[in-house]
Structure 1
Amino acid sequence: MLPLSLVFLSCLALVYAGSANKGDNCTQADSRLQTGTFQFFDDCNSVTYCASNGTCLLKGCRRDDFPFGYAKGAHLPDKCDVGQFCPDEADACQPLLSVDSPCQLNRDDECEAPPNADALRDTTNRGLNFNGAVCLNNVCMWANQTAGNSCTVENTAYIAYGPSGEFIDIVSRGNCIVGLYCDSTSKQCMAEKALGAACTADKECGSWNCLSSGTCGPDTSIPNHVGTGVYVAVAIGIFVGIFGTLLGLFMLHRRQRDQEREKRMQYWREQNAFHQNLLQMRQTARASILSLPGHGNSARSTMYGRDGMPSDEAPILQHAAPKGSGLRHYMGDDSSEYDEGMMMQPTTQRNDGRF
């Protein structure tokens, strides 16, 4: 199986296919495998191929369920039946190739399967073979070599890109049975190595993952499993986070309420002090009026409080009235501490009958 970076580069190669449309001229000599990605390229666009007559024709087969370049709703060429394959040119379906027949790069599916294909088939989904058949160095063969036997190896250098830039990714394949690998030096099939063993390539490890430290690492395709303690720690963290958020919001809102309450109390104190100042000013004004000459002992200085007793808050009467004169007292009180009872004297009838 190719790395994801190589798959990505293959997709880019499809994008940079030729630009000639159906019926346009093309040259089969220009057909080639792209450098670094080894993706097939010709002069025609992604829905046509370069025929032997030098013109671009519509493709006659396909390998993928959703091939690149076709418009939505467009007719797709048929996939090949069992016993056939669609070549890179995609001109037409062809019968499977026998052992030792020439095949295209990495096209294990072009080769005829061995009689014991079920036993040799790659079930790891790593691209080791296809139904027990493998195409190495452009030759069809079966992946049936056992431990200690001589084997064929193919090393292909792909151009890949990482965080540090461009680098070469070498993919090494052999015709050993699944569970073995073909050593590039001795050209013999050897057993895959266990986790932690020394290695120089991914194919040497049973996990298919040779770390940069030179040891076999865990299989990257297997999901990671964590212990129960991790789940407990995560649950506690979530609970603490939720509780802490609620507590923080409660404290924030309480502080805001205290600030608003203090503002209202300060406003009440200011208003109360203002009312007290008004009372003091009123009393001072009355005392000043009473201290004027001619007002200290006159009838105008007679003042009564709301309880009938002399008070400095009672109003000054217009005329002193004798006892039993029939004067009626009128008092207005709206329950306010700033209102005062007023003694009102009704208009008396004059001797001449007028009021």
Structure 2
Amino acid sequence: MRVAASTLALIALLHGASAGTLPRGAACSVGNSRLQVGTYQYWDECNSVSFCSIADAGICVAKRCRRDEFPFGYTPGMTFPDKCPQGQFCPDEGSDCQPVLLVGSPCQLNRDDQCEPAPNAAELADTSGRGLNVNGSVCLNNVCMWANETLGSDCVVENTPYIAYGIEGEFINIVSRGNCRVGSYCDGPTRKCLTNKEVGDVCDADKECDSMNCLTEGVCGDPAASPREFGTWVYVLVAIGIIAAMSGTVTGLYITHRKQRDEDREKRLQYWREQNAFHQNLLHMREAARASILSLNQNGDSPRSTIYYGRDTPAEEPLSHSSSAHKSSGLRNHVGDDGSDFEDSVSQRKNNNRF
């Protein structure tokens, strides 16, 4: 089934290459129309919204019908061509709706819908969604037929090699189809209809398995679309892993944030210590300055006392005579500290006995 999935992915990726580049009205050659190698996608010289019309003498004209609900290549605002009504089909070119084909008529590759339904279509139709037939009809080797061959009957097989891509690169994927009833397959070597194999049986191709999934080990496996079931222990381990991961994340965040908080706290403490030491230094400087000023006042060694060094000295007389005509200035020398709660002053006041 991995090859089938790879093929579908490849077809989707290369869908844009399934058409040429010529616009409507351009001259084209029908002889260049073909199926692309590896994907078997129809290709002609016209772009994806046109086809090369023989009736119009090799001119690209707009497609007149469509198979898909949302056809490729149409931009917003463009009008889609109509889908064909029941009993008709739209060919790969998208030319015109045509009546379904009778058994034995030529048909296009993998276009089971081009063939008329079998009389007992409800009994023969494939309802599994695996594309074994359409309404009991199949197009094998480009010929319409019904998928009504029973067990042991002769059958027709069609093997189509597709180019698929995997991890290891490019490889060939062979899709084998037959006209046996649903529940059986057309064996290649014997060309006989055989019963589908159950899970675990030996197989060589997907068509041999009832699950349509032949594993690389050579045995039929579960259908690729079946849900995978796990034991209870798997859910327990997953729950434990989730809880452990959440706990580890929370613990790691807590440790990281705690370390960050400790670092920030240490920075704040260091800042407080520095500020406290600075404040203590300022207090010591203030105390030293106050003690120095008080010591100068008590010892009479202030700069002012050197000028006025005595009232009875002869040297004072010239000063007294020169200053007798002036009044005292009443200056107050103030030494203090901003923000301190004390004030020391050295004052020089008017003395009637000296002046």
Category of TM-score, reference length = shorter chain: 0.7 to 0.9
Secondary structure of the residue aligned to 1:68 is coil
Q: 5 Å matches for 1:189-204?
A: 189-204=193-208
Distance 2:178 2:73 in 1: 34
Residue 84 of structure 2: aligned partner: 80
**1:156-196: CA deviations, max 9, x gaps?**
01122223222111000011111211111111112222222
Q: Which stretches in structure 2 are left out of the alignment for 5+ residues?
A: 301-336
8 Å CA contact retained: 2:30, 2:58: no
Give 1:83 deviation, angstroms.
Answer: 0.9
- Give the 3 Å change call, closer, same or farther, for CA 254–149 of structure 1 in structure 2: same
Q: 5 Å matches for 1:89-238?
A: 89-238=93-242
8 Å CA contact retained: 1:22, 1:55: no
Q: 5 Å matches for 1:301-320?
A: none
Deviates more, 1:167-176 or 1:25-34: 25-34
How high is the TM-score relative to the length of structure 1? 0.75
- Give the 3 Å change call, closer, same or farther, for CA 210–347 of structure 1 in structure 2: same
Give 1:273 deviation, angstroms.
Answer: 4.5
Distance 1:210 1:154 in 2: 18
**1:127-152: CA deviations, max 9, x gaps?**
11011111111111111122222211
- Give the 3 Å change call, closer, same or farther, for CA 16–111 of structure 1 in structure 2: closer
Deviates more, 1:339-348 or 1:261-270: 339-348
> 1:62 and 2:66 equivalent?
yes
Secondary structure of the residue aligned to 1:135 is strand
Deviates more, 1:236-245 or 1:161-170: 236-245
Deviates more, 1:238-247 or 1:84-93: 238-247
> 1:48 and 2:21 equivalent?
no
> 1:247 and 2:272 equivalent?
no
Distance 1:73 1:124 in 2: 36
**1:94-125: CA deviations, max 9, x gaps?**
11112122211111001111122112111111
> 1:22 and 2:24 equivalent?
yes
Q: Which stretches in structure 1 are left out of the alignment for 5+ residues?
A: 302-333
Give 1:210 deviation, angstroms.
Answer: 1.5
Distance 1:284 1:13 in 2: 96
Identity in percent: 55
8 Å CA contact retained: 2:28, 2:45: yes
- Give the 3 Å change call, closer, same or farther, for CA 281–76 of structure 1 in structure 2: closer
Quick one: which amino acid aligns to residue 7 of structure 1? Answer: L
Quick one: which amino acid aligns to residue 166 of structure 2? Answer: G
Give 1:82 deviation, angstroms.
Answer: 0.9
Q: Of Structure 1 and Structure 2, which has the larger fraction of its residues in helix?
A: 2
8 Å CA contact retained: 1:43, 1:50: no
8 Å CA contact retained: 1:151, 1:175: yes
Quick one: which amino acid aligns to residue 52 of structure 1? Answer: A
- Give the 3 Å change call, closer, same or farther, for CA 16–339 of structure 1 in structure 2: same
8 Å CA contact retained: 1:199, 1:215: yes
Distance 2:53 2:117 in 1: 30
In the alignment, which of 27, 34, 37 is matched to residue 36 of structure 2?
34
**1:70-89: CA deviations, max 9, x gaps?**
23222222111111111122
Give 1:234 deviation, angstroms.
Answer: 3.1
Secondary structure of the residue aligned to 2:200 is coil
Secondary structure of the residue aligned to 1:3 is helix
Secondary structure of the residue aligned to 1:49 is strand
Distance 2:15 2:267 in 1: 72
Distance 2:292 2:352 in 1: 35
8 Å CA contact retained: 2:153, 2:193: yes
Paired positions, count: 316
8 Å CA contact retained: 2:157, 2:179: yes
- Give the 3 Å change call, closer, same or farther, for CA 206–278 of structure 1 in structure 2: same
8 Å CA contact retained: 1:49, 1:59: no
Q: Larger relative CO (CA 8 A, sep 6+): 1 or 2?
A: 2
Distance 2:27 2:283 in 1: 110
How high is the TM-score relative to the length of structure 2? 0.75
Distance 1:174 1:181 in 2: 7
